[in-house]
Amino acid sequence: MNTYQNFVDALGFRESSSIPGGAQHYDAENPFGFIGKYQFGEAALFDLGYYGIDGSDGNLFRNDWTGNWSGKNGINSKQDYFDHGVVQEIIIRDWHEILWRRIQFLELEKFEGQTLNGQLITASGMLAVAHLIGAGSRSSDTAGLKGYLLSGAVLSPEDANGTSANDYMELFASFETPFTIDHGFAERIEGGSGKDYLTGFGGNDTLIGNAAIDTAVYSDQSSNYEINKLANGRWTVNHLADGTDGMDTLIDIERIAFSDSSLALDLDGNAGITAKLLGAVFGQASISNKQLAGTGLRFLDNGVSYETLTQLALDAALGNNATDRNAVVNLLYENVTGFPPSAADEAHFVGLLDSGEHTIASIGILAAETALNQNNIDLIGLSQTGLEFF
């Protein structure tokens, strides 16, 4: 982990090309009027007590620097600000204190440790994004860091230079900060429309995935948790023996990842398709094959269609015989019914292929979707327990 000083140095380099241990651009000013090594505007320096606190500047977002300076720490003008690099180093640290209080006020620190839309959220990343576009406010769910996090890192606002929240979250993700976060109490953590990996840490938390394929992540082995599906479709995950993860409630979560294996909960979605294909193409016993289940889920979760996956499964099961219509019919029929087809039944299904009414993939789906196949794999039972996979 990089230190907090490394974080401050990296921020200075990104904001004004100031080189750690080298040239420091304390007198930098960009075309939008942001000044100094860390590119502060009037509004931030007002909040810090350095500029315009006497009301001498009527618009703190213009950055024209026509107002008065307070004299705090000997800064009485913009030139004083440029000339006092030591004060700028004090200011950035004081600013981080203010930003962190705003992050706490907006209850955003709970997102630390989550992965939203593929982006790991960290304390240093949140500070950097808040520095870039502001922390946000109670009155808006779309502005600043708050809007970014509430969108599940899908909405990624930019500053005037076109630098996005995602850019800064990724760039500054791995630094220490002076701030500590207590996840040991009940938190409500909500993802967005992307693929999210949500972690409850300590306490009895509520994890809400919303759209896409979302995963609840746990630190211990699956055998140390009790998983239950509630009548309202939600799931509970209870860390046994007073485990540190507490008991969480999962809403719109499709996957649970433990330290040793994973569980797919969406038996009305990709997990159900995977289970049905396993039964029809590889036989009832394959439902317990976690490796095969994981392969099918990864294909579907990454956008592969039901039909394409069916063809891939038949290719894997039959090899060079995957285009042999009789071999396909015999495989599917026997896996679903438990015995080979009669000559008449075989001729019927091969005829569906010969006529073009069905493709090899679509007849595989036909077999997978039969009530008999779903009964064989106990799809109803799986919907209450989930499908295990690696």
Q: What is the mean pLDDT of residues 301-325?
A: 97
Contact, 263 vs 222, CB < 8 A? Answer: yes
- 195 falls within a domain: yes
**What is the C-alpha to C-alpha distance for residues 222 and 215, in angstroms, rounded to an integer?**
14
SS3 state at 38: coil
Which whole number is the average pLDDT over 313-322?
97
Residues 106 and 13 in one domain: yes
Of 122, 142, 172, the residue at which a domain comes to its end is 172
Q: How many domains does the chain have?
A: 3
Q: Are 203 and 242 in contact (CB under 8 A)?
A: no
Q: Based on the domain organization, do 311 and 209 belong to the same domain? A: no
Q: What is the pLDDT of residues 128-185, one digit of tens each?
A: 999 999 999 999 999 999 999 999 999 999 999 999 999 999 999 999 999 999 998 8
Residue 282 and residue 224 share a domain? no
198 and 237 share one domain? yes
Q: Would residue 37 count as lying in a domain?
A: yes
170-192 pLDDT, tens digit per residue, is 999 999 999 999 998 899 999 99
Domain that residue 52 falls in: 4-172
**In the predicted structure, residue 243 carries a pLDDT above the cut 90:** no
Same structural domain, 291 and 198? no
Looking at the structure, do residues 45 and 107 belong to the same domain, yes or no? yes
CA quadruple 266, 195, 201, 269: dihedral, nearest 10? 0
Q: Name the band, by pLDDT with cuts 50, 70 and 90, for residue 1.
A: low
H/E run at residue 291: helix 290-301
